[in-house]
Amino acid sequence: MAAALSCFGIAKFAVASNENDSVVTAVFSRSFNNYERPTRADGSEQPLTYVIAKGGFAPGTYADGSIEDVKFAGIVRVLGKYLAKQGYFPAKDAKKADLMLVVHWGKTMPGNDGLSRNMLDQGLQHFETLQQQLGKGIGRSPGINPSQSDLPPGAIGASSADLAAAAVQEAATEEMVQGMFEVRFAQDARIEANRYNANLLGYTSELKYRDNPSLFAGAGTAYRDLLDDLETERYYVSVTAYDFQDALHNHNKGLWRTVASIDARGNRFDEKLMAMVDKASRYFGRDSGGHLIRDFQFTPHINFGELKALGVVDNEPAPKK
């Protein structure tokens, strides 16, 4: 890792909430490499220092000013407030930081949207054409008898009605094969997109937990709700923590990852960012036990202050001894 990492300080800002404005936030958190947050002698959690890095931004399928206009610096401001509540503070000396926090944010691309939706529509159109062709081939009146030279091999003596029916059948077969291919392609794209988004948002283990015989005994609502989440656009923010001292030596030891997401329909990323971070922050450095936490919460709002840079770490590989 040869990139320079910035260490940021968080300016003061005002926070307010509106009890009439609520959102369902889904949070998943997982620890790695047997990580447990360090504690003091009295059992309380030890404060930890961090530097923060930009992991990446996914804009989604369609243009969305509510997320595209939010800069990384604004996300850092919001994160800083809630990191501090959980005992994480910007490192005054970046080279001595305990953690490197990598932030990803964006909007998902559901499998029932875009290309796969178009492919499914095309496949269904082929089946509709198939029905029309078969309908035209039923009760077809004999036409002009083709000449011997026009007949396919083995069709000597075939009537014009038989040949017309064969032509209809051949065209119908082509439509059916093309339709099946495009529907299958759309289904595969949908499945793959669901799998990707489930991993991204932390839904995988919860889907496996809910996928049991109780689905057919009246308990399938929760499972279907999870699938609905994956098949609609969702805003998300994730924070992944690495051991920074190991990272300085090019050993990226992952410690924990926490991701929060909400339905993008009827919401704005810039207005709901704080709600997502608020919910996610309660699990920073903790494991959610393999379960997805999916709850209603009131939406806090924020007036951003000024972001101040405290310094830059030139993260060059350590020289070999």
pLDDT in tens, 153-211: 555 555 666 666 666 566 666 666 665 656 566 677 788 888 999 999 999 999 888 88
Q: Which two tokens stand for residue 167?
A: 């032509």
Distance from C-alpha of 28 to C-alpha of 238, rounded to nearest angstrom = 9
Residues facing 31 on adjacent strands: 256
**Mean pLDDT of all residues in 244-270:** 92
Token match 């082509």: residue?
A: 174
Q: Which residues contact 76 (CB under 8 A, 6 or more apart)?
A: 8, 10, 52, 103, 307
CATH architecture for segment(s) 4-108+233-314: 2-Layer Sandwich (3.30)
Helices 72-85 + 269-281 axis angle, to 10: 30
Q: Global pTM?
A: 0.68
pLDDT for residue 27 is more than 70:
yes
Residue 286 contacts by C-beta under 8 Å, 6 or more apart in sequence? 29, 31, 37, 256
Helix, strand or coil for residue 120? helix
Mean pLDDT of the chain: 77
26: which strand partners?
Answer: 261, 294
Region of 24 on the Ramachandran plot (φ > 0 left; ψ -120 to 50 alpha; else beta): beta
Measure Cα distances from 98 to 170, 237, 238, 267, 297 in Å.
69, 22, 19, 35, 31
Tell me which of 144 and 111 has the higher pLDDT. Answer: 111
Query: Does position 17 have pLDDT exceeding 50, yes or no?
Result: no
